[in-house]
Structure 1
């Protein structure tokens, strides 16, 4: 679920929850109020004909007292006069109090003297009286006795149930509503914090680790939302940075190896050249034959250095993708035959047997850059020639069809490659057998150059070797009729 949907749901809950709680609060308030009404109905002995009784009995008390005030107010000084009102007053939980010059002369119910001081009288005055004994709603009326003494009567209604409802029940319900609202909002806030804030803190900690260079710890945050997408993006960035750092460390190691190897490979011929030049200068080469021999050796060493530097420059350009390829339609059989003829000139003085086995038609063509592809094949052939160690040295080049590609196999019966070195022979600057490489020369980038050139032609190169028996290189090139396919199956030898 996305964060956007979660936020919408949380906002809806924040709106619906208070409304629901308010409805619940009103529902509870209604039922409590109804229950309180029943309690008050029982307390005040209210029957179904309450309205009629209210208009007759309660109004009767009030109108009767008002009438007596006008006709004979001195009756209020006679307690026996109120005997007829006692039953109605008791039925309504009401109390009648009469005063004479602020002195109590009659009370239908016992009332504390200190409560009387809180009663104020005026014509049709109303008010509340709250004491330790209870709470009353009262109505007062003042008048004059026949001797012009101030008099007053008070009708007090006991409102204890109503006061209890207002003072206890309502605050309790309001407090319960607020508490439930706060708890609900706290739960929602906690849930949102757990699902959004805490994961963001984890991602921030992971980003800080990446910033500090700590790339080994994976970002383990699996979610199906925007934070999950951000986590996946950070994890991919971490993996790419880690890969980049590892490659950089590997490149740095390779660079150091290259410097070390090149220094060694350059130092050896330079030392040799210096020695022969010193021999010439010192007059050791005192005849023409020796002089020619010394000069030939110097030339050979200088040529080796030139080839080594040329190889390094080519690899550097290939590595930076700054080499331009000029592809043209090429008859692969003719191309390979011309390369073998060049090789024959180098090996005809030796006992090396070079064979070509052609299983192609005479019209097998590829798109190739003659110079670059020739360089790749020369590196392979030269590499094979270096390590031919058998008495009967043999090299076989086979051309055959492989699906819609052309397969070129270069096989020899040389010393082979150790199994531990085999997976890495195409790596840049890799020199597996140090002793062997030192004896035969080479910078360790010849086969790396081959791999880059072959792949630039849309082909593949693989190798199979048995140490002590020989090595076979397998090269596939796209036939000129074949369109390049990204999902072309790998070659298995």
Structure 2
């Protein structure tokens, strides 16, 4: 707010003061007071009034700035009425009262929505857990009967239900994950084993090398992330000889796990959007595509402190890189291993 805008708001008050000054000048002239004295008095009055209004303007600006800073620094702005200083002016008290009423109404509504969301999430999790049991039993039955066509369909059902479960939990990962040392090779091979029939059906050559490292993360979440990446690779294989290559690159501060397929690849214009919710690409085949796999994987990686990158050349390859940071726990582990070997 400019100073002139501030003065416009004070127009009525200043008009009254000018009328008062005019009346005083009229009386002084009427009683024959020296004109120089009258002029000096008028200049003095106007000067004092200008200084006083300038002081009030700066005070109002400071007060407004403190409120703005308070609002900007608050992560949950709907609680702003609880931390704002209570005003002294009558009109501002009315605004303050209206703001508190509005915030209370909104907070009540947010609380109700949060409670309903929590109940719905618990129902979805319960349903997913219950439905996975009969689907798993069907898959095992078809596996024993060597009916791989029906097993493939039940496995798809299982994967979709699992994706739904992890989506429901993705906002509260801190309540559901447990970080511990893992053998990366074991985790990768367990995931590959899950998709062995799909790899055989697609006549896929799987090349795994240099992944004998210990990492620190949650096993369930990492298994889910790797499953989503491999599902995508299988889904978009389109060569006579399909190939999946998995290897790691150990660096001083991080460990990179690279998963590369020689499928149809991703258009360069689509690459910036691969982590968007529901994005399935503009040209890729959309059979069974939900656009949720990479979205969820990236979201979970962010929550677990991992980094996920995707590089691709259309009709050549897609390369997904998971980056595990090496922290104090990793250095201590490596130190212990070296000590044991030397001993």
TM-score under structure 1 normalisation?
Answer: 0.41
Question: 406-415 vs 185-194, which deviates more?
Answer: 185-194
Deviation at 1:423, TM superposition (A): 1.3
Deviation at 1:475, TM superposition (A): 0.7
Counterparts of 1:323 and 1:442, CA distance in 2: 29
Q: In the TM superposition, what are the counterparts of 1:240-389 in structure 2 within 5 Å?
A: 301=153, 303-321=155-173, 323-358=175-210, 362=212, 364-389=213-238
Counterparts of 2:303 and 2:73, CA distance in 1: 28
Cα distance 1:468–1:321, how it changes in 2: closer, same or farther (>3 A)? same
Contact 1:405 1:482 (C-alpha < 8 Å) held by counterparts: no
What do the CA deviations read for 1:415-448 (whole angstroms, capped 9, x no partner)?
A: 00112221121122222237622x2x03211112
Q: Greater CA radius of gyration, 1 or 2?
A: 1
Contact 1:417 1:467 (C-alpha < 8 Å) held by counterparts: yes
* 2:44 matched residue in structure 1: 181
Choose the corresponding residue for 1:469, options 316, 331, 343: 316
Contact 1:416 1:471 (C-alpha < 8 Å) held by counterparts: yes
Counterparts of 1:454 and 1:412, CA distance in 2: 20
Q: In the TM superposition, what are the counterparts of 1:395-474 in structure 2 within 5 Å?
A: 395-433=244-282, 436-437=285-286, 439=287, 441-474=288-321
Counterparts of 1:356 and 1:471, CA distance in 2: 16
SS state at 1:436 partner: coil
SS state at 1:423 partner: helix
What do the CA deviations read for 1:441-476 (whole angstroms, capped 9, x no partner)?
A: 032111122123333332111010011111100111
Contact 1:367 1:457 (C-alpha < 8 Å) held by counterparts: no
Cα distance 1:304–1:394, how it changes in 2: closer, same or farther (>3 A)? closer
Contact 1:329 1:366 (C-alpha < 8 Å) held by counterparts: yes
Contact 2:216 2:330 (C-alpha < 8 Å) held by counterparts: no
Question: 401-410 vs 460-469, which deviates more?
Answer: 401-410
Counterparts of 1:391 and 1:307, CA distance in 2: 26
SS state at 1:481 partner: helix
Counterparts of 1:371 and 1:442, CA distance in 2: 23
Structure with the higher helix share, 1 or 2: 2
- CA RMSD, Structure 1 to Structure 2 (Å): 3.5
* 1:391 matched residue in structure 2: 240
In structure 1, stretches of 5+ residues that fail to align are 1-166, 200-224, 242-291, 484-493
Counterparts of 1:421 and 1:392, CA distance in 2: 25
Cα distance 1:335–1:432, how it changes in 2: closer, same or farther (>3 A)? same
SS state at 1:406 partner: strand
Cα distance 1:474–1:444, how it changes in 2: closer, same or farther (>3 A)? same
TM-score under structure 2 normalisation?
Answer: 0.57
Counterparts of 1:235 and 1:338, CA distance in 2: 48
With CA pairs under 8 Å and 6+ residues apart, which has the higher RCO, 1 or 2? 2
In structure 2, stretches of 5+ residues that fail to align are 1-30, 79-144, 333-343
